[in-house]
Amino acid sequence: MSQHNIRGTVLDSYGRPLAGATIAVVEGSASFPDMAAVTSDDGSFSLGPLSNGEYTVQAFGPSGNSAQAKAVVRDSSAVVRIRLE
Amino acid sequence: MTDSSGHEEVFNDSMLESEGAQGEASQPETGLETLPVASHAQPDNQDGTGDDVGSERAASEVFLDPYYASYDDDRPASARNLPSMEVIIGPDNRTRINPTTSYPWRAICALKIRSRTGKNYIGTGWFISPRTVMTAGHCVFLHDEGGWAQQIEVIPGRNDGSSPYGSAVSTSFRSVTGWTSSRNRDFDYGCIILPTNKRLGATTGFFGFANRNDATLLSKTLNLSGYPGDKGGNQQWFHALPPKSLTARTIVYNIDTFGGQSGSPVWYLESGNRYAVGVHTNGASSGNSATRIVTDVYNNMLSWKALGA
């Protein structure tokens, strides 16, 4: 079974990369690992391995704000950018 | 990995039933955990060698004697013979565990995972011996992030900014080739071995674990507690429900979880004894799930337990 990742960047309300944000898959058309990622200094993260399907990821900032994004994994990794307001 | 236990104890279900009858409680019990009073609304290895530990035993249906370790029961004597009572209250299905300094909560650990590619993750683990912490396979071996984790910090009973039992950083991990090579969800389990001078589980106590047949599992309320990312990964949150369904190697349930709880123990409580029966690994709209402790998993856990004794 083909498995890939959801990769991307979390930004703060100013559009700057946000380090230390927590992000996880919260919904999917397939089963997903229940591990959360913490964004690196450049705001980047990677979640997986994921089977082909549609997923929703949710990021949480240090101040408790959060935002979601949709991602479609189809034979390759999906890339998302989430901006916390 | 070949069976390193040397001997497999097999007990049939009727023996389990008779043992249960001998020690039956004088009052009906719910099998649910009593939460801390202050709670409110809740072989593959990496020691630098990377040698894989394979899981080769078929998923045959055997029934093993419960092996448990309930450590330092600090309830008052008058309470020890009482059944555990349900105290989850409120609309939120999850309940925060606060404080985390009583058993079994203190035996559950927040994990701070660093991959070889420099990525950071949150997970959950639980002690099965003084230095062995069970968790999900994908917490110790990250397929697309360099394989074996670079290091994992283990923090028992983590509670916001508090690490009441300290912490330990490990670079020694175990899993099975069903996960590390095959990426098979049914073999998604592993463990962390703490350094020899970090016997944190000797203080917190550790979980027992068991292989149970379908009928037994379906009759139980399953407890799950871990460190969800939507709460920052530093608070322990708990929920309990009966299982929804079973497969030969997984347990499926509607217990509420969130990313970061990968590796959480799934256990049931009976006559004051706790038996872990699964390792939580996956979320899904059709039901969250755990890798089930079946024969080969149980045997590997016995070996790993001995490594961290």
Tell me the pLDDT tens digit for each residue of B107-164. 999 999 999 999 999 999 999 999 999 999 999 999 999 999 999 999 999 999 999 9
Measured in angstroms, the CA of B231 and the nearest CA of chain A are apart by 9
Cα angle value A65/B227/B275 (rounded, 5°): 155
Q: Is the pLDDT reported for residue B195 higher than 50? A: yes
> What is the ipTM score, two decimals?
0.95
The pLDDT score that the predictor gives to residue B140 is: 98
Residue % of chain B over a pLDDT of 70: 72
Q: Are B116 and B145 in contact (CB under 8 A)?
A: yes
The pTM for the full model equals 0.81
Task: Tell me which residue of A5, A22, A32 sits closest to A66, measured CA to CA.
Answer: A22
Mean pLDDT, rounded, of chain B: 77
Q: Which positions in chain B touch A39 (Cβ < 8 Å)?
A: 120
Query: In B11-31, which positions are buried (b, 16+ CB within 10 angstroms) versus exposed (e)?
Result: eeeeebeeeeeeeeeeeebeb
Counting every residue, how long is chain B?
309
Q: Are B131 and B198 in contact (CB under 8 A)?
A: yes
Interface test with B, best of A1, A35, A57 (most B CBs within 10 A): A35
Estimate to the nearest angstrom the gap between the alpha carbon of B51 and the chain centroid.
24
Contact A34 B119 (CB under 8 A): no
B102, B115, B129, B262: the active-site residue: B262
Condensed to tens digits (0 to 9), the pLDDT of residues B224-255 reads: 999 999 999 999 999 999 999 999 999 999 89
Whether B138 sits among the annotated catalytic residues: the reply is yes
Select the residue of B260, B280, B288 nearest A36 (Cβ to Cβ).
B260
Condensed to tens digits (0 to 9), the pLDDT of residues B77-105 reads: 333 332 232 223 234 589 999 999 999 99
Select the residue of B259, B280, B285 nearest A36 (Cβ to Cβ).
B259
Select the residue of B119, B232, B233 nearest A46 (Cβ to Cβ).
B119
Cα angle value B67/B72/B76 (rounded, 5°): 120
Residue B291: pLDDT band with limits 50, 70, 90 = very high
More confident residue, A61 or B22: A61
Residues with Cβ within 8 Å of B21's Cβ and at least 6 positions away in sequence, in order, are: none
The pLDDT score that the predictor gives to residue B19 is: 22
Cα angle value A5/B51/B147 (rounded, 5°): 15
Residues with Cβ within 8 Å of B14's Cβ and at least 6 positions away in sequence, in order, are: none
Q: How many CB atoms lie within 10 A of CB B8?
A: 14
Q: Is the pLDDT reported for residue B76 higher than 60? A: no
Lowest mean pLDDT among A74-78, B65-69, B88-92, B140-144: B65-69
Contact A34 B283 (CB under 8 A): yes
SS3 A17: strand
The count of C-alpha atoms lying within 13 angstroms of the C-alpha of B48, restricted to the half-sphere facing its C-beta, is 1
